């Protein structure tokens, strides 16, 4: 079980350090793994402030090349050097606004694994796709391409996480019902079973994300196929994220 907070484009380096210092005692007893995905500029400060605690640090993106003429991009080695242990890959906002594709997600997954970063791979359908009844097909395609040529040993040793985030529930206040979220997480686990075997599929952490709050987290996380959450807005409030991490 892993609960990760995605801060998106919020908090200066100083604000980020102050926030995690406030957060540390609130999640010290959490049974779940706790991760904060902070802006690139905040990585070194946050990583330093969290040293020796149970909170891990994630970046929100990476480039699939090790170096080169890619103005504005950041490499896996740069992230590791700044203190990141996890990295979010393929978030719907990256897909929607910045041209991320299933193919680039796959390249980034390979890069992250090779560098020793734990990938949190995001998948999810649009509202139109849900209404058209193709949620399972869309999510299976995204997962299948994201993990193309990732072997079973690499999957498990990397600690790779899959985050199901229905696009229509991100930042909208809408939330999939517990049953809807559990069903799609089950679809993902079923596909992992087809690709890697049932034993491996059980070991992969499958998160739900999409307007997870302090009030709905406990019921969501109690569902059998949901292994935690990728939390957006609520992760910017220390009290709320503390409740979610302990749920």
* 165 included as an active-site residue: yes
* 110 included as an active-site residue: no
**The residue to which tokens 């990728």 are assigned:** 230
Interaxial angle between packed helices 135-146 and 178-196, expressed in degrees from 0 to 180 and rounded to the nearest 10: 40
Calpha distance 184→223 (Å, rounded):
12
Spot the catalytic one: 63, 91, 100, 110: 91
DSSP H stretches of helix in the chain: 13-27, 43-49, 76-81, 92-98, 102-115, 127-131, 135-146, 152-158, 178-196, 198-203, 217-221, 238-245
Give the CA count within 13 Å in the CB-facing half-sphere of 112.
33
Contacts of 235 (CB under 8 A, 6+ apart): 4, 5, 6, 7, 36, 241, 244
| CA nearest neighbour of 146 among 94, 78, 214 | 94
Spot the catalytic one: 93, 100, 125, 165: 165
Q: Which residues are catalytic?
A: 91, 165
């Amino acid at each position: 079980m892993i609960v990760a907070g995605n801060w998106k484009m919020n908090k200066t380096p100083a604000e980020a350090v102050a926030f995690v210092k406030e957060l540390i005692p609130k999640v010290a007893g959490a049974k779940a793994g706790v991760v904060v995905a902070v802006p690139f500029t905040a990585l070194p400060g946050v990583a330093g402030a969290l040293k020796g605690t149970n909170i891990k640090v994630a970046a929100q993106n990476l480039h699939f090349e090790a170096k080169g003429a890619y103005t504005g991009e950041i490499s896996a080695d740069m992230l590791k050097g700044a203190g990141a242990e996890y990295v979010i890959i393929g978030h719907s906002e990256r897909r929607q606004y910045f041209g991320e594709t299933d193919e680039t997600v796959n390249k980034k997954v390979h890069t992250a694994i090779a560098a020793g970063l734990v990938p949190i791979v995001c998948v999810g359908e649009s509202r139109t796709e849900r209404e058209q009844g193709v949620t399972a097909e869309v999510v299976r395609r995204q997962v299948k391409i994201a993990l193309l040529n990732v072997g079973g040993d690499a999957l498990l040793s990397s600690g790779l996480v899959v985050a199901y985030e229905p696009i229509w529930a991100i930042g909208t206040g809408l939330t999939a019902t517990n049953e809807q979220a559990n069903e799609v997480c089950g679809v993902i686990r079923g596909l992992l079973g087809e690709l890697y075997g049932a034993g491996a599929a059980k070991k992969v952490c499958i998160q739900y994300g999409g307007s997870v709050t302090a009030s709905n987290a406990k019921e969501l996380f109690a569902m059998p196929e949901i292994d935690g959450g990728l939390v957006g807005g609520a992760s910017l409030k220390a009290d709320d994220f503390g409740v979610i991490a302990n749920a």
